[in-house]
Amino acid sequence: MAANPMSQFDVYRIGPEIKVGAFDISFTNASLFMILSTVSILLIFNLGSKKNSILPNKIQLLAELSYTFVSKMISDTAGSKAKPYFAFIFSLFMFVLFCNMFGMIPYTFTVTSHIIVTFVLAAFIFIGVTVIGFIKHGFGYLKLFVPSGVPAVLLPLIVVIEIISYLSRPISLSVRLFANMMAGHTMMKVFGGFVISLGIVGGWLPLSFSVALTGLEILVAFLQAYVFAILTCIYLNDALNLHH
């Protein structure tokens, strides 16, 4: 079981099978780590917001730094109009970050390494952003597909390309996160397997690689959460401030 680098992504039932109609909504290891991530987020930020001291303690500082980090990210990319969506983007960033980081602990499960999870998040963002765009600008939102300053001859081609790029947003958004997580974890598992198979003599090289990869993966875990959140901000910016 351990030899297969893909087996770490296996989803299995914990406890009894729960069925609602034709759907299986059993509690799985994925559900466990979703709950773990959300509970730790809520715990940390609840602790960080409980006391209001002028000199913040460590956990309050952590909560406030995260708050200002995300709020700066939103105001930089999407402007002041995006303020009502701050809570959603904050939750999104924290959820993806914590799921990624929990996946870095050995023997854990990485929620975001599953395409269905990232795709649901991305699809929700895509639909939400589209709805916001149409509410804010009506059918004027379709001007997003017609960039200004393009020669009339090229316009049909450009419009088609713009529409494709818009429609592929949820796919690129979800696949980026899922593929990064899956590839990183698979690679770490493969190098870990090399350490065992090469033994005490030759195992040191893949072990050092594993150590380096762990650092890299922690960076990627943060970076992908950041990219996911910032792309959401950019999409939101398109919907709120129509530039084209």
Partner 1 sequence: MVKKIYFQSIFFSFFFIKEAFAAESGGMPQLNPEFWVSQIFWLILTFGIMYLVLSKLILPKISNNLESRKSQILENIEAAEKQREDSDAKLKEYDEIISKSKLEANSIFNQAREKALKDIGAKREVLDKQIDNEIAEAEKEIDVLRKNAPDKINKIAIETSSELLQKLIGAEVNNSSISAIVDDLSKRNGDKYYGN
Q: Which residues bind partner 1 (CB under 8 A)?
A: 4, 6-7, 9-11, 13, 23-28, 30-31, 34-35, 37-38, 41-42, 45-46, 48-50, 52, 54, 60, 63-64, 67-68, 86-88, 90-91, 94-95, 111, 113-117, 120-121, 160, 164, 167-168, 171, 178, 182
DSSP state string for 45-88: HHHHHH---SS--HHHHHHHHHHHHHHHHHHHHH-GGGGGGHHH
Question: Tokens representing 208?
Answer: 């050092």
Only one residue has tokens 């303690």, namely 57
Residue closer to partner 1, measured from CB, 18 or 211:
18
Amino acid letter for position 180: N
Residue closer to partner 1, measured from CB, 16 or 149:
16
Tell me whether residue 85 is exposed, middle or buried, using C-beta atoms within 10 angstroms of its C-beta: 0 to 12, 13 to 18, 19 or more: buried
227 touches 121 (CB < 8 A): no
Residue closer to partner 1, measured from CB, 136 or 162:
162
Residue 19 three-state SS: strand
Task: Provide, rounded to whole angstroms, the least separation between the CB of residue 206 and partner 1.
Answer: 22
Of 46, 88, 48, 82, the residue nearest 64 (C-alpha): 48
Only one residue has tokens 């991305």, namely 122
Residue closer to partner 1, measured from CB, 95 or 141:
95
Task: Provide, rounded to whole angstroms, the least separation between the CB of residue 28 and partner 1.
Answer: 5
Residue closer to partner 1, measured from CB, 33 or 209:
33
Task: Provide, rounded to whole angstroms, the least separation between the CB of residue 227 and partner 1.
Answer: 18
Residue closer to partner 1, measured from CB, 161 or 205:
161
Question: Tokens representing 219?
Answer: 């960076």
Count of H-run helices and E-run strands, the chain: 7, 2
Task: Provide, rounded to whole angstroms, the least separation between the CB of residue 204 and partner 1.
Answer: 29
Task: Provide, rounded to whole angstroms, the least separation between the CB of residue 15 and partner 1.
Answer: 12
Task: Provide, rounded to whole angstroms, the least separation between the CB of residue 216 and partner 1.
Answer: 22
